Amino acid sequence: MQIVIVSPALADANNGNWRTAQRWTRFLAPLGRVRVTTHWPDSEAAADDVMLALHARRSAAAIRAWHELHGDAGLGVVLTGTDLHHDIHVSQEAIDSLHRAQALVVLHARGIAGLPAALRSKARVILQSANRRRPLGKTEHHLNVVVAGHLRSEKSPETIFATAQLLRNTAGIRLIHIGKALDPELADQATATMQACTGYRWRGALPHDAVRDAIQRAHVLVHPSRMEGGANVVIEAITSGTPVLASAVDGNIGLLGEDYPGYFPWGDAPSLAAMLTRLRLELTTGNALLRQLTPAIAARAPLFEPEHERQCVRQLVTDLHRR
């Protein structure tokens, strides 16, 4: 079998699409030859048996070209957060991609409900995974908070900037913001926030291992996104035993669970600042909120084991190849 993964991002992007493509390439290697490309058809297209297209809109040209040659047979489309929560509601290209696919994949438990009702029967949930890591030692001198996500509007970095401003006179909270600036205006805002708030530091893009290390050392990961398809960094925090404070949007709830106690309303910097202030005070007075968050995270961790994702991805490709 020859399998092609069409991804709008490759290694230089250092983002979730690339890490998904890289991980699935490893998982699928025993089934046949696997390659990753940004464009299809290419010089090897004639031998392809199965296509997995990441992103309904951004991979729409490849999806259309496959469908013209093969119909829906062998075509799986994997939906991102921007697909689910924006593109399939406004982009005809994205909508057409959904109809052309033999199978649709969403990456969190609430994803299928976000699809048009007529298409839900051909959708399945595949939760992404990360290798487990032990939590690293936490300082008791301050609350160590990590935010990991490229600076773009979907990740709501403005919520972090506003939170840093609200906390600028609060001692003992350090916000470490990791991510490449994909928007120059957001880079300017991050720089200005550093100048105004001694507790906030924007570190820019870091290698993946360095990001995981920072998550392991943090008391808490903050994930303030406006829309999410199933964030890798949330999964990496869960599998590192690091609690998460997350915006109450479908993509986060679909990973962390309906009753998780660490949500704040999307864009609500005062609520996030209040939760961080509470966590800082509780470092020396009993960690009541952390005592709720930590077991809730531990209970979710088995859902994100690599072996579970591996089996699901292989089953997807086996099902597509049977057609």
The domain that holds 184 is classified in CATH as 3.40.50.2000
Provide the residue count of the chain: 323
Would you give the DSSP letter of residue 245? E
Q: Is residue 71 part of a domain?
A: yes
- Residue 166 clears pLDDT 80, i.e. is over it: yes
- Residue 72 clears pLDDT 90, i.e. is over it: yes
pLDDT digits (tens, 9 = 90+) for 205-247: 999 999 999 999 999 999 999 999 889 999 999 999 999 999 9
Q: Quick one: 297 and 309 in the same domain? A: no
* pLDDT recorded at residue 87: 93
**Dihedral, CA of residue 82, residue 255, residue 305 and residue 113, to nearest 10:** -70
Q: How many domains does the chain have?
A: 2
Q: Is residue 136 part of a domain?
A: no
User: Which amino acid is residue 201, in one-letter code?
Assistant: R
Rounded CA separation 85/61 (Å): 20
Q: Quick one: 163 and 208 in the same domain? A: yes
Paired sense of beta strands 263-264 and 123-125, if any = unpaired
* pLDDT recorded at residue 40: 97
Q: Is residue 138 part of a domain?
A: no
- Residue 163 clears pLDDT 90, i.e. is over it: yes
Q: When comparing pLDDT for 285 and 18, which is higher? A: 18
- Residue 9 clears pLDDT 80, i.e. is over it: no
pLDDT digits (tens, 9 = 90+) for 267-304: 999 999 999 999 998 887 766 888 899 999 999 999 99
Residue 12 pLDDT class (50, 70, 90 cuts): low
Residues whose CB falls within 8 Å of the CB of residue 12, separated by 6 or more in sequence, listed in order: none
Long-range contacts of 264-272 (CB under 8 A, 24+ apart): 266/156, 266/159, 266/224, 266/225, 266/226, 267/156, 267/158, 267/159, 267/224, 267/226, 268/159, 269/159, 269/162, 269/163, 269/165, 269/166, 270/166, 272/159, 272/163, 272/222, 272/224, 272/245
Which of the listed ranges 131-135, 254-258, 289-293 does the model predict with the highest average pLDDT? Answer: 254-258
* pLDDT recorded at residue 85: 87
Tokens standing for 175?
Answer: 């916000």
Q: Quick one: 149 and 298 in the same domain? A: yes
Q: Is residue 94 part of a domain?
A: yes
* pLDDT recorded at residue 49: 97
Range of the structural domain that residue 16 is part of: 2-129+305-322
* pLDDT recorded at residue 237: 97
Q: Is residue 228 part of a domain?
A: yes
* pLDDT recorded at residue 125: 97
Give helix 269-282 / helix 288-300 axis angle, nearest 10°: 100
What integer is the mean pLDDT of 85-90? 92
* pLDDT recorded at residue 81: 86
Residue 11 pLDDT class (50, 70, 90 cuts): low
Residue 257 pLDDT class (50, 70, 90 cuts): very high
- Residue 135 clears pLDDT 90, i.e. is over it: no
* pLDDT recorded at residue 51: 98
Within 10 Å of residue 137's Cβ, how many Cβ atoms?
Answer: 7
Q: Is residue 134 part of a domain?
A: no
Q: What is the CATH number of the domain that holds 112?
A: 3.40.50
pLDDT digits (tens, 9 = 90+) for 172-202: 999 999 999 999 999 999 999 999 999 999 9
